[in-house]
A and B are shown apart, each in its own frame.
Chain A
Amino acid sequence: MKIEYLKIKNYKQFSSLKLDLTYPKGHKKEGQPLDKICIIGQSGTGKTNLLEIIRDKKSDSNIKSIFKKEKTSIYEKIYFSSAEKESKQIIEDKKFIDIRDANSWKLLKEKINNYDTEKSKYTRKLSNKLIYNMEYSKEDFILDMQKWESENENILEKIADDINSIIKKFNLELKIDEDTNSYEELIIKDLSNGNVINYDEVSTGTKNLLSTFIPLKSYNPKDSIILIDEPENSFYPDIQKQLTDLYMSVGENNQLIMATHSPLIASSFEPWEVVELKFDRDNQIYRELYYEGENSIDNYTLDPRMLTWTSILVDIFDLKEDSSSLREKKLMEYLMIKDTIMSMEKGEARDEKIREFKKLSRLLGLQN
């Protein structure tokens, strides 16, 4: 299931908003719903409300939403992660799955138990074969076990591998074993000194990652919509850059929709996948289009993937300046010193000025 169209009239802050959420003309997936969507916009433009409208599959006189369903899928669900702290309550009877509620641990335990049971069963079966079948060698046994392991994902290892690729940057390593029943029981190792630290002691960013990614891996969504509000919370830029790929790697054939304030997250989206909400002159919300004329890939004039971070901030996030007033002042000073040097005779005074110039040049990052 993927959302492909949304029309909202007179609902919350939206007086009239139409969103075509399909790939444009000329794209290899032309007309199909977008695989991933990045919602950006100033505070108050309704990013979270948009996520909630999709989450609740709202459809009434004010809202028309069109979801494209897979013909035969039985897995279609909606997963939602709010920007709030994780809830530890299990909330039943909801139309959507709250990624960060405590239900996922139950599911994770079931999956672990299931994996262990299946593995034991298979090991027993092969052991019997080894005993009673003279032609079946020890090497065959090892090969069969390896084959089974490659075909059956060990969820604990997979979670640890994926998360560790990121949290290694914070000098941390995660170990999950079958006795882990909650976040508090996770084994997190501080790689700088080998100490084990408690979940409560790790950074807010690490907690955010663990409390969203572990449940998502447990649910292993398929043909579903995954909604994540502010995935960048408490993450350093280098981690923010990896989040889209990380969440896209979860499950199969899902539509990932994120609402974000992060230019680095926006930079991993194709231009048609960015829904930028803005206020018009009458303070009404509209979607800024990055194309002129027909919605065709050839008509797009902005592509976040091709911009520098500064350009993303200025062109997409509408930042008015690209640096501080101090930098501006110092750049002028830099130019003045340069002019002075050019007009000076060779000698100690000029050399001193050059040293001053070079120091300022380094401070301004002009030698990068």
Chain B
Amino acid sequence: MKKIDKSRVLSEKYLSWMKELKEEHPRYSSSHKYIKDIKMNLLYCQNGLCAYTEELLCDMELIEPKHWSNGRYTTELDNQNLINGDIEHFDCTLKEKQGYLWDNLFMVNSNINCRVKGTKTINPILKPDSTEYDAFKYLEFDDKLNMFKPNKQLSDKDKKDVLDMIETLGLNSNAFKRAKQIKELKEDFEFDLDLKEPHEYITSWKMTLKNLKGE
């Protein structure tokens, strides 16, 4: 799970609307007029990837700035299947009263949103856009079992919190594709080929590379 920079704002209309809202937001609705703007701006900030698993959620062309005009995403997305993800409320307790809070929203794989995370309690230790978050500080990757795990250097309490959050955010869910990618890249490394940085699952690859180099 890589760090996400959510300061790259394209959805100016939504953000100015959101900032004007009092403490209590209108009831969250997936058919709200700004939902598409929120989705596409989040995907833009996340490079088209799931905020947690780093799986690609849409065609990269769809997140290009050319689709934006006057602070709104103007291209019609007729087909629901064009984006394989949903808006996720990181802290689901905020959904009821602050459902449109930009800081609390991410785009994630639909499976993570619906089946894995759901309404589980969260710990901000692994919030991907927080200033303190650093994947290498909190996580390690076991490239043989294809699993993220807490960094050994953490305190026992932090290890426990990170472990819980790895599970809550589904960082090791649906990871078969990631395992295949790691395997292929490891072969390239073994054959001393030029290593290209993958777009998807970059964190696991960077950590694998670190393991391979014995760093």
Contacts and interface: CB of A to CB of B under 8 A. Distances in A.
Is the pairing of A and B real? yes
Interface of A: 281-282, 310, 314, 320-322, 325, 328-329, 331-332, 334-336, 339, 343
Contacts of B175: 322
6 contacts: A314-B177, A321-B174, A321-B176, A332-B163, A332-B166, A336-B159
Contacts of B116: 325
Contacts of B149: 332, 335-336, 339
Contact of A314 (B142, B145, B173, B176): B176
Contacts, number: 42
Contacts of A335: 142, 145, 147, 149
B31 to A, nearest CB: 20
Contacts of A331: 145, 147, 172
Contact of A328 (B79, B111, B142, B173): B173
Nearest to B79: A281
A257 B82 CA distance: 34
Interface in B41-84: 79, 81-82
B5 interface: no
A334 B82 CA distance: 38
Given A332-B163, A332-B166, A336-B159, A322 B152 contact: no
A282 B175 CA distance: 27
Interface string B170-197: 0011111100000000000000000000
A259 B71 CA distance: 51
Given A281-B81, A335-B147, A321 B163 contact: no
B81 A322 contact: no
B1 to A, nearest CB: 15
A321 B178 CA distance: 11
A1 B165 CA distance: 60
A282 B159 CA distance: 45
B12 interface: no
B167 interface: yes
A328 B152 contact: no
B128 interface: no
Contacts of A281: 79, 81-82
Closest 9 A/B residue pairs (Cβ): A281-B81, A322-B176, A335-B149, A314-B176, A320-B174, A328-B172, A281-B79, A339-B152, A321-B174
B150 interface: yes
Given A282-B79, A321-B173, A322-B176, 17 more contacts: A281-B82, A314-B177, A320-B111, A320-B174, A321-B174, A322-B175, A325-B116, A328-B172, A332-B149, A332-B172, A335-B142, A335-B145, A335-B147, A335-B149, A336-B150, A339-B149, A339-B152
A259 B16 CA distance: 56
- Residue of A325, A332, A334 contacting most chain B CB atoms (<10 Å): A332
A314 B167 CA distance: 22
A336 B163 contact: yes
Nearest to B80: A281
Contacts of B173: 321, 325, 328
A282 B150 CA distance: 41
